[in-house]
Amino acid sequence: PKTLRFILGDQLNSNYSWFKEVNPNVTYLMMEVMQEQDYVMHHIQKILGFFAAMRNFAHQLSKKGHRVIYLKLDDADNKQFIDQNIHFQLNQHQIEKFEYQLPDEYRLDEQLKELCKGLSIPFEVADTEHFLTTRYEVKDFFGDQKKYLMENFYRHMRVRLDILMDGGKPAGNRWNFDTENRKKYDNKVPLPEVLVFDQDLSTLKEMADKMGVKYFGRVNEKEFAWPLSRAKALKALDNFCENLLPHFGTYEDAMLQEHISLFHSRLSFALNTKMIAPAEVIGAVITHWQQNKATITIEQVEGYIRQVIGWREFMRGVYWAKMPGFAQMNFFNAKRKLPQWFWTGETNMNCLKKCIGQSLDFAWAHHIQRLMVIGNFALIAGLNPDEVDEWYLGVYIDAIQWVEITNTRGMSQFADGGIIASKPYAGSAAYINKMSDYCKSCHYDHKKRHGEKACPYNSLYWDFFHRNTDKLKYNPRIGMMYKLLDKFTKAELEATLLQADEYLNRLDSL
Ligand code: FAD
Ligand code: SF4
């Protein structure tokens, strides 16, 4: 039958089985639509990055001989909604069968299911062939347990995929090398170069402006830090194995003012758009390690594999187990508005200025910057998780809801009440000072809890625990904090809470 196959912007997998042979009866449909620009305000690099990668992908498909309809945002017959465009193209080309790949986003999954209900022709839905697990594998793995422990799932994945296993035991006799890893950057190895690509996105930007797309953040249109094709993604993967993997684990939690990414792979955009697959990333990492065991330790490799086969698959599974309810959870009933400086980076708190500034410059920050600087502040200041989610979903180039909301609302804001994290990721200035060089050039004093120039993280940290005593005191992993809080003198407690109050009343001017 004459078939229309729809490809979403995050389904750029050129190895997909659909494309194995050219079939003149099959037309592929891709589209840039306002619907996808409007549901939150996005960073300009996210918008341009998706459009450019989609256009490259469509171009490659056509070059191989496939029939492709590509709707540009400013095309005259673009209806700007996915369902309306599909209906229009089905009629226009007298299509007899409609096919699509399972979306990873709940919203789009519902939209396409709804669309298919109204079709008078047959339709078929196929898996994306991208992930290492199925949608509901995590849900089935944990059954009716209230809390999902990533570590258990990760070990199961190691065994199931036979990765870093040694005769039924974990290689190196341990599942976890976190104690060796996670060091502050100590100048012992030189900082790597940040890989950027020469890619001119100015025409795309002009189109976005002409169409009135709303965005925030900054862009260097001529030099783009994100791979926009599979070929470039593979280059980035090579660069990771060669130059970054040897120190990935050691410095995975470190933060530095003058370097945006240290030894992180920055492969998340290529992975989440499916230009490259998790299986090939871990394959490349393991092969490179096996050939270079003299220079790459198992600690580095395990640290990385954990992120890809553990956290990434786990978060996707939690998403499908818990949506749509997950998007409404607000365990602490946090209601404060996001301070203005989330959109400008203009705050006197140097860590936030640097991490938000970098997010606005590159549409990316690494895990600890997202978790322990920005997310941590939002958590202890009691910012509304709806607004926090919206910001994270808009700002990061790799932000697609399945991996954004689970990390943000779940892991970082504990708004899920502890499905994902066993305790809130709250930290005071001591943690930020230990893992970064931000505090030494900050307006605030990281050692002070209250008084002139006291670091806001300190009073907000204690205020957070004090404010949420009834919700947290009986958590066995947090009880210790309350013992410490009990030891505060009355005067110290009062001064700390007063300081927090003062800061909370003027978040915009911190
Ligand atoms: P690396 O450190 O090099 O890690 C390798 C890969 O592992 C990543 O590319 C990613 O695919 C995977 N990975 C690592 N950590 C996680 C994690 N916690 N969850 C899922 N996958 C992980 N990641 C996104 O892809 N999209 C998001 O929108 C997103 N939002 C986040 C929000 C918050 C509050 C936090 C704390 C984390 C978020 N993450 C998100 C996870 C993580 O921060 C990014 O995947 C990572 O920073 C991407 O950079 P990288 O490719 O250099 O990662
Ligand atoms: Fe951040 Fe406080 Fe350190 Fe300043 S002193 S950089 S606000 S943790």
Question: Position 415: which residue type?
Answer: A
Among 2, 1, 71, residue whose Cα is nearest residue 36 = 71
Residue nearest (by alpha carbon) to ligand 1 atom 11: 268
Tokens of 195: 């890989």
DSSP 76-137: TT--SSHHHHHHHHHHHTT-SEEEEEPPSSHHHHHHHHHHHHT-SS-EEEE--S-SSS-TTH
* Angle CA 402–405–408, to nearest 5: 140
If you average pLDDT over residues 49-61, what whole number do you get? 98
Which ipTM value was assigned to this complex? 0.99
Residue 494's pLDDT band, with cuts at 50, 70 and 90, is very high
Under 8 Å between Cβ of 392 and 364? no
What predicted TM-score, i.e. pTM, was given to this entire model? Answer: 0.97
Kindly report the average pLDDT of the chain as a whole number. Answer: 96
- Shortest-distance Cα residue to atom 8 of ligand 2: 429
> For residues 507 and 347, is the Cβ–Cβ distance under 8 A?
no
Q: What is the mean pLDDT of residues 173-177?
A: 93
**DSSP letter (8 states) at residue 338:** P
Residues 188 and 160 sit within 8 Å (Cβ to Cβ): no
Q: Which helix (H) or strand (E) holds 232?
A: helix 230-239
Nearest residue CA, atom 5 of ligand 2? 446
The 10s digit of each residue's pLDDT in 321-370 is 999 999 999 999 999 999 999 999 999 999 999 999 999 999 999 999 99
Shortest-distance ligand to the CA of residue 410: 1
428 CA distance to ligand 1 middle (Å):
23
Take residue 168 and report the two structure tokens written for it. 């039924």
269 lines ligand 2 (CB under 6 A): no
To which residue do tokens 């229009």 refer? 88
Query: Which pLDDT band holds residue 318 (cuts at 50, 70, 90)?
Result: very high
Q: 37: burial class by Cβ within 10 Å (0-12, 13-18, 19+)?
A: buried
Q: What are phi and psi of 174, to 5 degrees?
A: -140, 150
Say what percent of the chain tops pLDDT 70: 100
Q: What is the pLDDT of residues 428-437, one digit of tens each?
A: 999 999 999 9
- Residue whose C-alpha is closest to residue 25's, from 62, 86, 66: 66
Spatial distance between the Cα atoms of 396 and 260, rounded to a whole number of angstroms? 14
List Cα–Cα distances, 223 to 396, 413, 430, in angstroms. 17, 34, 36
Q: Which atom of ligand 1 is nearest to the CA of 365?
A: 47
pLDDT digits (tens, 9 = 90+) for 209-243: 999 999 999 998 777 899 999 999 999 999 999 99
Judged on CB neighbours under 10 Å (0-12, 13-18, 19+), 77 is: exposed
For residue 420, which ligand has an atom nearest its CA? 1
Residue range 125-141: mean pLDDT, rounded = 97
Nearest ligand by distance to the CA of 355 = 2
Please tell me the distance from the alpha carbon of residue 85 to that of residue 30, in angstroms, as a whole number: 10
CA 307 distance to own-chain centroid: 12
Tally of residues, the chain: 510
Statement: residue 20 has pLDDT above 80: yes
108 band by pLDDT with thresholds 50, 70 and 90: very high
Q: Give the mutation target among 257, 353, 431, 439 for probing the ligand 2 site: most ligand atoms within 8 A of CB.
A: 439
Among 264, 278, 436, residue whose Cα is nearest residue 366: 264
460 lines ligand 2 (CB under 6 A): no
What is the distance in A from the centroid of ligand 2 to the CA of 221?
32
Q: How far apart are CA 158 and CA 175, in angstroms?
A: 9
Going through 153-283 in order, the beta strands assigned E by DSSP cover: 165-166, 169-170, 197-198, 215-216, 223-224
Task: For each of the domains in the chain, give its residue range(s) and CATH number, in order of start.
Answer: 3-126 (3.40.50.620), 137-196+228-322 (1.25.40.80), 340-509 (1.10.579.10)
Distance of alpha carbon 87 from alpha carbon 172, whole angstroms:
56
Using left for φ > 0, alpha for ψ between -120 and 50, and beta otherwise, residue 303 falls in: alpha
Q: In angstroms, rounded to a whole number, what is the distance separating the alpha carbons of residues 297 and 107? A: 42
